[in-house]
Structure 1
């Protein structure tokens, strides 16, 4: 299953490393990353594959959300199909 992970918040050292480590620890493969920083605001979108992962989507969402809250980031993980439907024009 493919997911879209979005991260938004004030830029700081280690955001990509923190999220990548959580994904790696749970055997979630990163397929694509797009990130930018504007006026100190960090924005990243990752497409990831969790077919080989043992963790459930809800558990991964909880881990990412809790970690994001600790450092004042909004981190969301959604099934790619849901993300696509929500962002169709």
Structure 2
């Protein structure tokens, strides 16, 4: 049987403003660079947006809810009104083998 572990992490859901498809354009490159930096630092596990541009999701390693929210609130999308709300929930990420 494969080595299976549950990694404690946080799922962040960021709600987009109604006009986010347009307003995010000038900030998108910097947003993606930051995600790459968080990934390289081992903080970001996964990220992506829903196709209808209603919200995006990030799974992050953080010691607590406040730290997880600080990751989201530090994003250029939040600072410029592309995201209008963020929430964090404890998440148990299933890891198989060297995943």
Query: What is the aligned length?
Result: 73
Structure 1 unmatched runs, 5+? 82-89
| Residue in structure 1 matched with residue 50 of structure 2 by the alignment | 36
SS in 2 for 1:56: coil
TM-score, normalised to structure 2, is: 0.48
Change (3 A) 1:28 1:66: closer
Q: Deviation digits for residues 30-85 of structure 1, max 9, x if unmatched?
A: 24x452243xx44222334x2xxxx633234124224353121123332116xxxx
SS in 2 for 1:80: strand
Specify which of 86, 89, 93 is matched with residue 78 of structure 1. 89
Structure 2 unmatched runs, 5+? 1-7, 93-99
| Residue in structure 1 matched with residue 12 of structure 2 by the alignment | 5
Distance 1:17 1:37 in 2: 17
Distance 1:20 1:47 in 2: 11
CA contact (8 A) 1:65 1:76 kept: no
Could you say which structure has the greater relative contact order, defined with CA pairs below 8 angstroms and 6 or more residues apart? 2
Q: In angstroms, what is the RMSD of aligned CA positions? A: 3.2
| Residue in structure 2 matched with residue 84 of structure 1 by the alignment | none
TM-score, normalised to structure 1, is: 0.51
Ranges of 4+ aligned residues in structure 1 off by more than 6 Å: none
